[in-house]
Chains A and B, each alone.
Chain A
Amino acid sequence: MKFTWFHLMPYRFLPEDFKDRYRSVWVDIPRNLYDPKVGHRLYNDYLDQLEFADAMGFDGLGVNEHHQNGYGMMPSPNLMAAALTRRTRNANLVVLGNSIALYNPPIRVAEEFAMLDVMSGGRLIAGFPVGTSMDDNFCYGEVPATLREKYYEAHDLIVKAWKEMDIFSFNGKYTKLRYVNLWPRPVQQPHPPIWIPGGGSVETYDFCADHDYQYSFLSYFGYIAGKKVADGYWEVMAKKGKELNPYAMGFAQVVIVANSDEEAERLYSPHVDYFFNRCLHVYNGFADAPGYRTVKTIKAGLLGQVGKQADLRRDGLTWKDFVDQGFIIAGSPKTVRERLREAMKTLHCGHLMMLMQIGSMPPDLVRASTELFAKEVMPYMRDLWSEFEDRWSPKRLPQNEIQMPAPLHFESRGANGQARSAGIQSEVRSAK
């Protein structure tokens, strides 16, 4: 079993009456609710938390892309992943991902992912989401009906650019390039593992199965509601005769660990409420632009996790409901061990994307829960799926070839601006 500590990077200070005063946390959230000074603190807190998760032995650090969104302050997850390459050592960088239909030309994504892979010594997992309707259609103006076609074309271009050693031309419908010649090349050859985050579009199951990509269902509704999607995915995999390897699937789940079930509720309940009732308050009209989902998916009857239907499912839920209905797995280490094992077995899932900072949860609570999980839960779950090989995790450079940042010791500079530090001098000498 593998664990990725996944950050959404929410704005933690939306007003109390947010849900009544504003129609959406996403797309048209008022700009004046964002205070950049607070934002500065939050970005640093959040990077600290991810770095702490690395130190605690989590397998991956997860970041994702959202636009004009009060619960996801990462228009560019690549910037966060880049920041993480410098101070983290072990964990994989799980960028889930870049909405590749939005980038023109999409080769930009191939370049940035290659940079991240090289910077991190081969620790990158490359996520290619179609992206949500809010992000792609409403914020970035993509025509809904052609989004998927554009996505598939971008995917073909990026993967070919990674694989091909010779310069080639690409004559796509949406992108035309005379010289495709990807510099730098990724450390992981021919390319980093590709994970496809999905929200329940049936086409994505086929796409993952056909390309041997990992499918990550990024739900906020937990394992009980997520079972329908997981079953749909495994059914497609079985039909296509693919190995039912749990590592071919990732699942996002809110997890909270405290010293007792009672303590978990007392300390964390307000933050869970903030997440489900303020952060996920998305105007119904933005949930699903006409043409964003195919008719096939609509007929499959899979509900989205934002919008009116989603609101109805969450309305008036208490901590007990959130726990009982599986939205969150929370409680003492013992409780979490049991529930999580049951959940992962039910879903047949090998890669858990753990949402351990959600909503307004402050740094001390995040740290406490993370540490308890790492020490009291994770070691007891490692055995799960040990009979399977994880073919979807990075193959990094050997430890002796990984370079870490040089120590910071050039604070003292002379009046003329010349470096006086011995460290810098010796580096200059050795470079000669």
Chain B
Amino acid sequence: MITTQKLLDGKFSVELHQFGSSGDPLLFLHGAGGLTGVDPFLEDLSKDFKVIAPHFPGYGESTGNEHIDDVLDAALFYHQLMDELGIDSANVVGHSMGGMLAAEMAALCNHRVKKLVLVAPAGFWLDAHPIPDFFAADLTEIGGLLFHDPNSPVARMFTAIPEDLKALEAMYVERVKRLATAGKFLWPLPDRGLKKRAHRIKSPTLVVWGESDKLIPPVYANEFTSRIKGARTAIIKQAGHMPMYEQQAEFVKTVLGFLKS
């Protein structure tokens, strides 16, 4: 993994993780929780692709969050980043909030996304299937919302509360920064009008969902496949909202299978 900082437009400084150096570019857009710093599935994907995982402004060391108000600003940010990196078109994989922004990005300028993978993407609201209030969730509830098995070692990595007070404060501040940014697209409900634009997506699209996702239930996959022509769904068993961590091998196999076909 190589980490670099890119300056964009005088507004943003972007922290990028890069995995692998050969193959087509693959842009990974993280979810509301952000990258963990230990994201082994990205390493796996880099066997066939040059993986670029930027921290969205407000996450990690990336700055310029104050210049982003809505999904249009966010989609343009990712397009500008591709310009800066000299990437004309890329495969884009987006998770949760990142899936929502990946879909926006593809709808905005559809020829720049070669293939699109949406992993448990946000972007819609169904009254019959309300999405739990993640922002108000207690730390003790988060594991249950995100994971098929909240007691697994992988899940515990996400929900562990540091004992050291300094570390706890740092974690809290980072969490606030990240979720405050996410709120611009997800608060109070994660619908910013994607339903008006999703039909513009022309890229071959795979929608990936953990079978027991309790945050955004798999029924939401229909909202994407019914609007994006040719899109299909892959369900990952024994996985919740974080299939790339919880069922890493199956996830990587599914995504690579689609991207390489």
Chain A residues contacting B135 (CB-CB under 8 Å) are 285, 289-290
* Binding-face segment, A139-147, A367-375, A411-419: A139-147
* Binding-face segment, A14-22, A183-191, A215-223, A291-299: A291-299
Chain B residues contacting A299 (CB-CB under 8 Å) are 169, 173
A290 touches B179 (CB 8 A): yes
B173 touches A298 (CB 8 A): yes
Interface presence of A4 (CB below 8 A): no
A285 touches B173 (CB 8 A): no
Chain A residues contacting B182 (CB-CB under 8 Å) are 290
Residues of B166-208 contacting chain A, CB below 8 A: 169, 172-173, 175-184, 187-188
**Docked CA distance A284–B182 (Å):** 20
**Docked CA distance A141–B133 (Å):** 12
1/0 per residue, CB under 8 A from B, across A288-315: the answer is 0111010100110000000000000000
Interface presence of A233 (CB below 8 A): no
A138 touches B183 (CB 8 A): no
Known: A285-B137, A285-B138, A286-B136. A298 touches B184 (CB 8 A): no
What's the least CB distance linking B59 to chain A, in Å? 13
What's the least CB distance linking B150 to chain A, in Å? 17
**Docked CA distance A143–B182 (Å):** 10
B176 touches A146 (CB 8 A): no
**Docked CA distance A298–B176 (Å):** 10
B138, B175, B177: the one contacting A284 at CB < 8 Å is B138
Interface presence of B61 (CB below 8 A): no
A283 touches B183 (CB 8 A): no
B69, B133, B169, B183: the one contacting A291 at CB < 8 Å is B183
Residues of B118-152 contacting chain A, CB below 8 A: 133, 135-138
Interface presence of A132 (CB below 8 A): no
Query: Which among A146, A286, A291, A299 has the highest number of chain B CB atoms within 10 Å?
Result: A291
Chain B residues contacting A290 (CB-CB under 8 Å) are 135, 175-180, 182-183
**Docked CA distance A141–B183 (Å):** 10
B175, B176, B187: the one contacting A137 at CB < 8 Å is B187
A295 touches B187 (CB 8 A): no
Query: Which among B69, B133, B184, B187 has the highest number of chain A CB atoms within 10 Å?
Result: B187
Chain A residues contacting B184 (CB-CB under 8 Å) are 143, 145-146
**Docked CA distance A215–B180 (Å):** 27
Known: A143-B187, A290-B175, A298-B172. A138 touches B136 (CB 8 A): yes
In the complex, which residue of chain A has the Cβ closest to the Cβ of B180?
Answer: A291
A291 touches B179 (CB 8 A): yes
Chain B residues contacting A283 (CB-CB under 8 Å) are 136
**Docked CA distance A59–B79 (Å):** 60
In the complex, which residue of chain A has the Cβ closest to the Cβ of B32?
Answer: A290
**Docked CA distance A293–B136 (Å):** 15
Chain A residues contacting B177 (CB-CB under 8 Å) are 290, 295
B188 touches A141 (CB 8 A): yes
In the complex, which residue of chain B has the Cβ closest to the Cβ of A289?
Answer: B135
- Per DSSP, chain B at the interface is helix
Chain A residues contacting B138 (CB-CB under 8 Å) are 284-285
**Docked CA distance A291–B135 (Å):** 10
Chain A residues contacting B176 (CB-CB under 8 Å) are 290-291, 293, 295, 298
Chain B residues contacting A291 (CB-CB under 8 Å) are 176, 179-181, 183
1/0 per residue, CB under 8 A from B, across A111-154: the answer is 00000000000000000000000000110010111100000000
B173 touches A295 (CB 8 A): yes
Query: Which among A141, A290, A299 has the highest number of chain B CB atoms within 10 Å?
Result: A290
A145, A295, A298: the one contacting B183 at CB < 8 Å is A145
**Docked CA distance A293–B177 (Å):** 10
Chain A residues contacting B180 (CB-CB under 8 Å) are 144-145, 290-291
**Docked CA distance A336–B184 (Å):** 48
B183 touches A289 (CB 8 A): yes
Chain A residues contacting B183 (CB-CB under 8 Å) are 143-145, 289-291
B181 touches A145 (CB 8 A): yes
Residues of A357-388 contacting chain B, CB below 8 A: none
What's the least CB distance linking A367 to chain B, in Å? 40
In the complex, which residue of chain A has the Cβ closest to the Cβ of B186?
Answer: A143
What's the least CB distance linking B179 to chain A, in Å? 3
Chain A residues contacting B187 (CB-CB under 8 Å) are 137, 141, 143-144, 289
Residues of A267-292 contacting chain B, CB below 8 A: 283-286, 289-291
In the complex, which residue of chain A has the Cβ closest to the Cβ of B133?
Answer: A285
**Docked CA distance A283–B137 (Å):** 10
Chain B residues contacting A293 (CB-CB under 8 Å) are 176
**Docked CA distance A295–B66 (Å):** 14
Chain A residues contacting B69 (CB-CB under 8 Å) are 146
What's the least CB distance linking B104 to chain A, in Å? 17
Chain A residues contacting B136 (CB-CB under 8 Å) are 138, 283, 285-286, 289
Residues of B204-241 contacting chain A, CB below 8 A: none
**Docked CA distance A138–B183 (Å):** 12
**Docked CA distance A187–B136 (Å):** 43
A137 touches B188 (CB 8 A): yes
**Docked CA distance A299–B184 (Å):** 22
28 CB contacts below 8 A, A to B, read A138-B136, A143-B184, A144-B180, A144-B183, A145-B180, A146-B69, A283-B136, A285-B133, A285-B135, A285-B136, A285-B138, A286-B136, A289-B135, A289-B136, A289-B187, A290-B135, A290-B175, A290-B178, A290-B180, A290-B182, A290-B183, A291-B176, A291-B179, A295-B173, A295-B176, A295-B177, A298-B172, A298-B176
Besides A145-B180, A291-B183, 12 other A-B contacts (C-beta < 8 A): A137-B187, A138-B136, A138-B188, A141-B187, A143-B187, A145-B183, A146-B184, A285-B133, A289-B187, A291-B181, A295-B173, A299-B169
Query: Which 10 residue pairs are nearest across A and B when measured between Cβ atoms?
Result: A291-B180, A290-B179, A285-B136, A141-B188, A145-B180, A290-B176, A290-B180, A143-B187, A144-B183, A143-B183
Task: Please report A residues at the B interface, Cβ cutoff 8 Å.
Answer: 137-138, 141, 143-146, 283-286, 289-291, 293, 295, 298-299
